[in-house]
A and B are shown apart, each in its own frame.
Chain A
Amino acid sequence: MDLKQSIMNIGKYLKFGAVALFGAVLSSCNSNDDLGKQEIEIPGITIDGDIDCCSAEEALQVYKFLQTVKIIPELSTVIDDKYNVFAYSKTGKFHGGYNDIYFVATKKKNGNYIKNFEISALKPIMLMVKMNMKHSTPVSAGVESFNKNYLAVKRGWVSFVMNTSDAGSWTLSYDYSVLGSDGTTGEQEIIVDALPDGQQWLKSFKAGDDTYYLSLVNPLDWSTGKNTITAFVSKKNTPATTPYGLAGEQFVIEIDPRMPDMGNHTSPDNIGLSRQSDGSYQGTVNLTMTGRWRIHLTVKDAQGNIVAGGDDLSDGYSSLYWEVTI
């Protein structure tokens, strides 16, 4: 650590003290303002008491959540010139593997969020140009509210088995039902970016004639320490253009996290993924540091038979793995 950094460090401590002091002063000032009623103002939204729409408090929560995600313009649509449906993802784009997609519907007249609407039939399709072949990819079972603080936001997910390239391109469509106006967006072209090196969040395996996909959920939320690891197991459909739903079979996914750049260093007390009531698989992964981790997998069926992975390659670890760089 050089001198500058150390001065900054001292600065940090001083700043901490200053913030604490300032905070104390502020909170003591604020006590006088408690009686003053404060109007909630949300940019672009008029709170006009429309019963279809959120109250001021609810709308504020939704608005705050939407600040943490980015709009996907190609999946947003106008309905009967009365309503808007907006789709969001973390980055406003898609990438290979698991992507959350969030939806809100608003009224054009007041910009406010509509409480009850439905999104269904998320349908991603890959057109492979050279082979003139189409297939879909794993998707969520439905699109649902997921957080009681902002019920007017609905979430679904798509896990892309490949990215957009010269070999093929993706479209995505969904159906909506907003206050009696039903319809579909039709196939909208979307771009699915490749994940950077060191990130492999979707793996597949074959069991019998069936192909299964293991979609790892948002591993970039992980940090050093104990993390919940969440994944979905999806099953390929026939025809392949039907989006792949969650596999009906129950599996157990054992994990062995390793750092290939550190002599396959591992961490203790990891807990394999088991199926939860919501259909997801959850376990615990412990990370001792940031960097590139391979989560080697052994998939077992309900009887405990290995159905995928668990093969010890020359390096001693399963060939089936997710790779995550945090």
Chain B
Amino acid sequence: MLVTALLTTLLMTDTVTLDRVRNLDEVLIVSNERGKRTRSVKGAVAGIDEHLGELRNVNLVRRGSYAWEPVVNNMQTERLSTTIDGMKIFYACTDKMDPVTSYVESGNLQSISLNSGLDGNPQATGNIGGSLDLKLRKVGFEADPRHVSLSAGHEWNGHLQVYGADAAFSSYRTYLNTGVFYRDADCYRVGGGELLNYSQFSKVNLFANAGLRLTDNDVLETTFIFDRATDVGYPALNMDVAKAQGLITSLSYKHLFGWASWETKAYYNHIIHIMDDTTRPDVLIHMDMPGDSWTTGLYSLLTTSVGQELQHDVAVNYDLYYNRLFADMTMYPGGAAPMYMVTWPDVGTLNTGLAVTDNVSVDSRQSLRLSAKVAWQNQRLNNQEGYNGQKVFFPLMTDHYYQTTGRIAASYQLSIFNSQFSIGTGWGSRAPTVTEAYGYYLNNTFDQYDYMGNPHLSNESAFELNSEFSILKSEFSVSLNSNVFLFKDYIIGRLDDRLSAMTVGAEGVKVYRNLDHATIANLSLTADWQITDRLTWNGKLGYSAGLDDEGDNLPLISPVAWRTQLQYGTGRVQTELEVRGNARQTNYAPKYGETQTESWNIVNLSVQYQVNSGISIRGGVENLFDKRYSAYSDWNNIPQKGRNVYLNLTIEL
């Protein structure tokens, strides 16, 4: 993937401070010309899900108003890698109610970087669709000695309140930044005014990053994040969440050689996820469904530049992690004995990998990027009861498995005249996820089937081709972007009518299978026009397709989507008019239980006013015409927010 295809959202205004030891992505964040535009109009107060939505190629699966699941190139969590500053972290909910991005807060982050496709960041494994890395906000050494920022936001629809405070201290030898954030929302009203029950949430987040410069060339850094969401409603699901709690910690050591920089980080994180159906009426059988995920690991990254005429920016990364996932379910039928099953059989995954990337600057007009990773994985089922249960379905299974996965990608970029051309290709594989391999009767409310993991699955692999062609003029640019993924052994659930559904009301049981082949392709056209000094326009049109081995549509593939923005800015005031929408979903997948989503368009208005260098106010109206709609990625077609007025205030001291 070419460097320009690396997309980033800037969460912070202009206070991005670089560490002495940089990696390529971080350099790109500041130099990214798109930076200003790909920031959420709501500023830092916006939720992390809203920031994710600003990334190109990203859609979000919404099960409520909290914890949206990022979809990159029309691929969900299982085909993506998500890391936090290179740290592996895995969600703890068998129903995917807690994508790992929900365990951080925008205020914890400096940026989110996305590598599209198989060219992942060095720590990424299993990234076919792309890899997200959430880059933590570190004030760094020799920044402002003291800096305090306060933020507050209110959204009238759903009475969302956001409060944040953080402080940073920096010197030549040490730095510390720490903050606390709070979000709380009631249920929101959908277009037309109807209240959507169970769409509330509440969240508290604490973080601290600290650094100590031991010598001029040696740095010690540590991270601590505690994040707890409580009373989170999921209107698209049958149950809510009582508590979703993440603890994320790390300690890293960086050394600067004359010729290279070397970072080694050890980390630990633990997620506890507790579902709750006690507030729902008409619950047939009350259930307890806790999940637990903990991960510990390390990576060691060496980056260097070599060569004179042909300059190579090389990064070599070794990583190792051990993750453990356990989930169980206790059901309480009225009067009768409780029923118990293990849904994730305490799966221990030990994974280690070696990655290399090389950016070659051939000359001022041409560049080449190569990346490769190979990873080995050992999985063990530590819970005997869960293992025995699954063995009923797979009598030949064992309690441990080994997998080898890898990826390799290359891309070439050429700039001539006023145009830029790039082409890339890659191949990569991923091991089945714990849900796909060992999940036990996991009910999927999307298609109303119970899903059984299949320990005999083969690794899924994909061959990717991508290209970008841009015409860049001073006041106008247009770019055509395309990629196609040709899958082998694509993993998806298929009906097994031999099996009987467990969940009351479920249609049947699906077992994960390898499809011989499948295809996902994405095409997007973007244009930017600087109409006058103050007026700019941009537009984007996207088309996607996903087909299984029989030529039928895959589920959750975006319909034709567009987004256009007209921006008018004077020095202190920035205003924006945005229209976004989807065409009627014609490429939906009834075979996989998907229902058709109608077309929609909404209009958003926003204004930003910079009172002085320290104070800025952002306000706006989303869904101006109070349209009732749901996007294709809204789980069970739950409607989106109706008209929403917001006002956000940021104070920097």
Question: How far is A8 from B505 in the complex, measured between Cα atoms in Å?
Answer: 36
Query: For A266, what are the chain B residues with a Cβ–Cβ distance below 8 Å?
Result: 500
Nearest-CB residue, chain A, relative to B496: A268
State the Cβ distance, B339 to closest chain A Cβ, in Å: 3
From 598 to 639 in chain B, residues with beta carbon under 8 angstroms from any chain A beta carbon are: none
Q: Is the CB of A3 within 8 A of B272?
A: yes
Q: Is the CB of A292 within 8 A of B392?
A: no
A223 interface residue, CB < 8 Å from B? yes
Q: Is the CB of B388 within 8 A of A223?
A: yes
Q: Is the CB of B331 within 8 A of A224?
A: no
What 1/0 mask marks residues of chain B from 498 to 530 whose CB sits below 8 Å from any chain A CB? 111111110000000000000000000000000
Contact status of A288 and B341, CB under 8 A, knowing A225-B385, A225-B389:
yes
Query: Which of B290, B291, B341, B392 has its CB near the most chain A CB atoms (within 10 A)?
Result: B392
Q: Is the CB of B336 within 8 A of A288?
A: no
From 214 to 237 in chain A, residues with beta carbon under 8 angstroms from any chain B beta carbon are: 223-226
What 1/0 mask marks residues of chain B from 336 to 375 whose CB sits below 8 Å from any chain A CB? 1111111000000000000000000000000000000000
State the Cβ distance, A288 to closest chain B Cβ, in Å: 6
Q: Is the CB of B388 within 8 A of A288?
A: no
Question: How far is A198 from B386 in the complex, measured between Cα atoms in Å?
Answer: 24
B333 interface residue, CB < 8 Å from A? yes
Q: What 10 pairs between A and B have smallest CB-CB spacing?
A: A225-B388, A291-B339, A261-B333, A289-B341, A1-B290, A286-B392, A266-B500, A263-B504, A290-B340, A325-B337
Query: For B402, what are the chain A residues with a Cβ–Cβ distance below 8 Å?
Result: none
Q: Is the CB of A2 within 8 A of B337?
A: no
Sample (10) of A-B pairs whose CB atoms are under 8 Å apart:
A1-B274, A224-B341, A226-B391, A261-B336, A262-B285, A289-B340, A290-B339, A291-B336, A291-B339, A325-B336
Question: How far is A102 from B633 in the complex, measured between Cα atoms in Å?
Answer: 64
State the Cβ distance, A271 to closest chain B Cβ, in Å: 12
Query: For A10, what are the chain B residues with a Cβ–Cβ distance below 8 Å?
Result: 294
A15 interface residue, CB < 8 Å from B? no
A265 interface residue, CB < 8 Å from B? yes
What 1/0 mask marks residues of chain A from 194 to 217 whose CB sits below 8 Å from any chain B CB? 000110000000000000000000
Q: Is the CB of A265 within 8 A of B502?
A: yes
Question: How far is A315 from B505 in the complex, measured between Cα atoms in Å?
Answer: 16
Q: Is the CB of B501 within 8 A of A263?
A: yes
Q: Is the CB of A292 within 8 A of B272?
A: no
Query: For A1, what are the chain B residues with a Cβ–Cβ distance below 8 Å?
Result: 272-274, 290-292
A30 interface residue, CB < 8 Å from B? no
B441 interface residue, CB < 8 Å from A? yes
Nearest-CB residue, chain B, relative to A284: B392
A181 interface residue, CB < 8 Å from B? no
Query: For A9, what are the chain B residues with a Cβ–Cβ distance below 8 Å?
Result: 292, 326
Question: How far is A261 from B287 in the complex, measured between Cα atoms in Å?
Answer: 13
From 245 to 286 in chain A, residues with beta carbon under 8 angstroms from any chain B beta carbon are: 259-269, 286
Query: For A5, what are the chain B residues with a Cβ–Cβ distance below 8 Å?
Result: 290
Question: How far is A226 from B385 in the complex, measured between Cα atoms in Å?
Answer: 11
What 1/0 mask marks residues of chain B from 271 to 297 whose CB sits below 8 Å from any chain A CB? 011100000000001000011101000
Which of A6, A264, A268, A291 sits near B393, CB closer than 8 Å?
A268
State the Cβ distance, B354 to closest chain A Cβ, in Å: 27
Nearest-CB residue, chain A, relative to B328: A1
Question: How far is A259 from B503 in the complex, measured between Cα atoms in Å?
Answer: 11
Query: For B338, what are the chain A residues with a Cβ–Cβ distance below 8 Å?
Result: 290-291
Question: How far is A209 from B273 in the complex, measured between Cα atoms in Å?
Answer: 60
B42 interface residue, CB < 8 Å from A? no
B407 interface residue, CB < 8 Å from A? no
From 275 to 331 in chain B, residues with beta carbon under 8 angstroms from any chain A beta carbon are: 285, 290-292, 294, 326, 331
State the Cβ distance, B113 to closest chain A Cβ, in Å: 31
Query: For B265, what are the chain A residues with a Cβ–Cβ distance below 8 Å?
Result: none
Contact status of A262 and B385, CB under 8 A, knowing A268-B498, A288-B441:
no
Q: Is the CB of A267 within 8 A of B339?
A: no
State the Cβ distance, A6 to closest chain B Cβ, in Å: 5
Nearest-CB residue, chain B, relative to A288: B389
State the Cβ distance, B135 to closest chain A Cβ, in Å: 28
Query: For B270, what are the chain A residues with a Cβ–Cβ distance below 8 Å?
Result: 6
Contact status of A2 and B274, CB under 8 A, knowing A265-B502, A291-B337:
yes
Contact status of A269 and B392, CB under 8 A, knowing A2-B274, A262-B502:
yes
Question: How far is A9 from B331 in the complex, measured between Cα atoms in Å?
Answer: 22
State the Cβ distance, A12 to closest chain B Cβ, in Å: 10
Q: Is the CB of A6 within 8 A of B292?
A: yes
With A225-B391, A261-B339 already in contact, 18 other A-B pairs whose C-beta atoms are closer than 8 Å = A198-B336, A223-B385, A224-B340, A225-B389, A261-B285, A261-B331, A262-B339, A265-B501, A266-B500, A267-B500, A269-B392, A286-B392, A288-B502, A289-B341, A290-B338, A290-B340, A292-B339, A325-B336
Query: For A290, what are the chain B residues with a Cβ–Cβ distance below 8 Å?
Result: 337-341
State the Cβ distance, B282 to closest chain A Cβ, in Å: 15
From 232 to 267 in chain B, residues with beta carbon under 8 angstroms from any chain A beta carbon are: 243, 245
Contact status of A224 and B502, CB under 8 A, knowing A2-B274, A6-B292:
no
Question: How far is A269 from B292 in the complex, measured between Cα atoms in Å?
Answer: 31
From 407 to 466 in chain B, residues with beta carbon under 8 angstroms from any chain A beta carbon are: 441
Q: Is the CB of A263 within 8 A of B336?
A: no
Contact status of A291 and B272, CB under 8 A, knowing A1-B290, A263-B501, A268-B498:
no
Q: Is the CB of A262 within 8 A of B272?
A: no
State the Cβ distance, B334 to closest chain A Cβ, in Å: 9
Query: Which of B385, B389, B505 has its CB near the most chain A CB atoms (within 10 A)?
Result: B389
Nearest-CB residue, chain B, relative to A16: B382
Contact status of A259 and B388, CB under 8 A, knowing A3-B272, A6-B292, A265-B500:
no
State the Cβ distance, B439 to closest chain A Cβ, in Å: 13
Question: How far is A289 from B273 in the complex, measured between Cα atoms in Å?
Answer: 22
Contact status of A268 and B341, CB under 8 A, knowing A2-B272, A3-B272, A6-B270:
no
Question: How far is A265 from B508 in the complex, measured between Cα atoms in Å?
Answer: 10
Nearest-CB residue, chain B, relative to A6: B272
Query: For A223, what are the chain B residues with a Cβ–Cβ distance below 8 Å?
Result: 385, 388
Question: How far is A27 from B67 in the complex, measured between Cα atoms in Å?
Answer: 51
Q: Is the CB of A224 within 8 A of B291?
A: no
Question: How far is A109 from B651 in the complex, measured between Cα atoms in Å?
Answer: 93
Question: How far is A287 from B393 in the complex, measured between Cα atoms in Å?
Answer: 11
Query: Which of B292, B333, B500 has its CB near the most chain A CB atoms (within 10 A)?
Result: B500
Question: How far is A107 from B529 in the complex, measured between Cα atoms in Å?
Answer: 105
Question: How far is A53 from B26 in the complex, measured between Cα atoms in Å?
Answer: 82
Query: For A288, what are the chain B residues with a Cβ–Cβ distance below 8 Å?
Result: 341, 389, 392, 441, 502
Query: For B498, what are the chain A residues with a Cβ–Cβ distance below 8 Å?
Result: 268
Contact status of A225 and B392, CB under 8 A, knowing A1-B291, A291-B331:
yes
